Structures are given as structure tokens and as C-alpha cells.
Amino acid sequence: MRNKHQKFGAQSEDLAVWYLKKNGYKILAQNYRTRLGEIDIIAKEKKTIVFVEVKSRRSIRYGSPKWSVTHQKQRKISMVALQYLKKTRQTDAAARFDVVAVISNRDEPQIEVVKNAFELAYG
């Protein structure tokens, strides 16, 4: 059973998937998990594989959610992304890391895609 924070997170990820599809991304996987961690969405935009972290908040009281992807989280996402590329034999593919920020207040949710939000982080 999901708590209210988990439900909010799942709804935000669903919104992000809808938004990405609407903007030409092809969704390859959702909640891709390995023993190293998880990537919220793996998509393809044109010929680029895109590893997407979804961050959401109910308001901007504490700033935009796009700023909440820490270096530690970037490192974990990077390791899982490398593992995915190896497993799918796509280590030569163009890839990038995007963050989708979702702000869901009482009105219409605001969705922002930050392309190339961070570089491969493994140090």
C-alpha cells in the first residue's frame, strides 16, 4: 500500500511520461531498477537515449524541484545508466541526463524539462 508521498510521486512520474510523449520522446522503461539504484524514466529522443529523473513538489516554497538532484543522486543515476547501456549493448549510443520538474499546486501542474541537467558523474 502506498502512502500519500508515494502516490504523489507516482502521479508526478505519470505526468512526466505523458509530457515527454507529447513532446516526441519514446518511453523505453519506467522505474528501471538494479541493485545499484533506480532511474525513473528511460526514453529516446530522436537518436539519443535519455535518462530522466523526475522531481516534484506541491509548491515552490523551498525552490524548484529541479535543483534537488544532489551530486550523490547524479552519481547513482550515472552508475545505473552505464549498467543499462552495457546490458542493452548500447555503450556507443548518444546519451544524456534530463530532469523533469513537476510543480503540482491547486491549479494546473507546471512541468519543466531540463535537458542535459548534469554530466556523467562517477567520481
CATH of the domain at 59: 3.40.1350.10
Report the pLDDT value the prediction gives residue 12, as an integer from 0 to 100. Answer: 85
DSSP 52: E
Do β-strands 48-57 and 26-34 pair in parallel, antiparallel, or remain unpaired?
unpaired
Please tell me the chain's helix, strand, coil percentages from 3-state DSSP, rounded to the nearest 5: 35, 40, 30
Set of cell numbers at residue 10: 507516482
Report the pLDDT value the prediction gives residue 123, as an integer from 0 to 100. Answer: 57
Cα gap 62→85, rounded to integer Å = 35
For the chain, the domain total comes to 1
- Whether residue 2 has pLDDT greater than 80: no
Asked, for residue 63, whether it belongs to a domain, the answer is yes
Asked, for residue 108, whether it belongs to a domain, the answer is yes
Asked, for residue 42, whether it belongs to a domain, the answer is yes
Q: pTM here?
A: 0.91
Burial of 99 (0-12, 13-18, 19+ CB in 10 A): buried
The mean per-residue pLDDT over the stretch 12-37 comes to: 95
The mean per-residue pLDDT over the stretch 65-75 comes to: 86
Going by C-alpha positions, the residue among 70, 72, 86, 69 that lies closest to residue 34 is: 86
Report the pLDDT value the prediction gives residue 29, as an integer from 0 to 100. Answer: 96
Asked, for residue 123, whether it belongs to a domain, the answer is no
- Whether residue 97 has pLDDT greater than 90: yes
Range of the domain at 83: 4-118
3-state secondary structure of 105: coil
22: number of CA atoms within 13 Å, CB side? 8
31: number of CA atoms within 13 Å, CB side? 5
- Whether residue 81 has pLDDT greater than 70: yes
Asked, for residue 30, whether it belongs to a domain, the answer is yes
Q: Please indicate whether residue 87 or residue 60 has the higher confidence score (pLDDT).
A: 87
